[in-house]
């Protein structure tokens, strides 16, 4: 066999192998590629939003998708054969940087207006409503949602529900009172004193006297002590 013929046969064999390999790769890739509908379903299971664009990239090995939701616009790259996400980056944000939670902002405004402890929060369509226990009084402070301005701040009488929102228990109030003046407990009740919720703890002292200790129901501070012979 001539040298020229050998070269031709070798080239023909290489060409056949290359063609066969290329056809096999094409068939394999085409067989594994998920449809656009399938890839959308897979991504939608894990990410909320509207998929606005989808394309095959990287020689059909991956899909690139554009997803938009309330937080912004994102680019997602996922495997075209399995749907597994490979990369996700935010293209545009709809949130302001360092934006605080609206309720938290409103609460800061309310506490700045009336210094004290927030014991209850409510939300209406146009405002946040805070119940605040100050040092001596109970207040309701309304803060407008759009502007974060105080609409009103007024004293109020505690409701039965608000009485249940005390920060300390009656047992803890008794411990505070006994630690302050000593003696043994005779009675302890939740009362309103100057618009403020207090535990009224009555104690029998070793010297025969009686003491009435008022313990702030929210802070645990002693608001007053009265001794009786």
pLDDT of residue 85: 77
Same domain, 152 and 180: no
pLDDT of residue 44: 85
* Mean of pLDDT over the chain: 81
pLDDT of residue 201: 93
Rounded Cα distance between 111 and 169, Å, is: 24
Which of 120, 146, 163 is at the close of a domain? 163
Which of 138, 163, 188 is at the close of a domain? 163
Q: Count up the domains in the chain and report the number.
A: 3
Any domain includes 130: yes
Tell me the CATH number at 82: 3.10.450.40
Cβ distance 75 to 86 under 8 Å?
no
Is the pLDDT at 203 greater than 90? The verdict is yes
- Closest by CA position to 128, among listed 136, 113, 137: 113
Rounded Cα distance between 191 and 214, Å, is: 9
Entry pTM: 0.39
The residue among 82 and 210 whose pLDDT is bigger is 210
pLDDT, one tens digit per residue, over 166-189 is 678 888 889 999 999 999 998 888
Using alpha carbons only, what angle is made at residue 202 by residues 186 and 132, rounded to the nearest 5 degrees?
130
The residue segments making up the domain with residue 132 are: 102-163
Same domain, 59 and 112: no
Same domain, 49 and 64: yes
Same domain, 91 and 36: yes
Any domain includes 55: yes
């Amino acid at each position: 066999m001539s040298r020229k013929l050998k070269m031709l046969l070798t080239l023909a064999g290489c060409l056949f192998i290359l063609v066969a390999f290329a056809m096999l790769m094409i068939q394999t890739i085409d067989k594994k590629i998920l449809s656009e509908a399938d890839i959308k379903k897979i991504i939608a299971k894990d990410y909320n939003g509207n998929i606005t664009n989808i394309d095959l990239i990287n020689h059909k090995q991956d899909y690139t998708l554009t997803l938009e939701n309330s937080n912004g616009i994102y680019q997602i790259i996922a495997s075209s054969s399995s749907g597994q996400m490979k990369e996700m980056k935010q293209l545009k944000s709809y949130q302001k940087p360092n934006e605080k939670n609206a309720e938290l902002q409103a609460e800061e405004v309310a506490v700045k207006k009336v210094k004290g402890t927030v014991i209850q929060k409510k939300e209406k369509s146009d405002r946040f409503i805070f119940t605040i226990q100050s040092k001596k009084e109970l207040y309701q402070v309304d803060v407008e949602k759009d502007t974060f301005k105080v609409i009103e701040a007024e004293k109020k009488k505690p409701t039965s529900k608000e009485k249940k929102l005390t920060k300390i228990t009656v047992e803890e109030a008794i411990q505070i009172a006994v630690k302050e003046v000593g003696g043994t407990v005779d009675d302890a009740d939740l009362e309103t004193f100057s618009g403020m919720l207090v535990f009224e703890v009555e104690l029998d002292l070793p010297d025969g006297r009686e003491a009435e200790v008022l313990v702030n129901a929210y802070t645990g501070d002693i608001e007053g002590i009265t001794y009786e012979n």
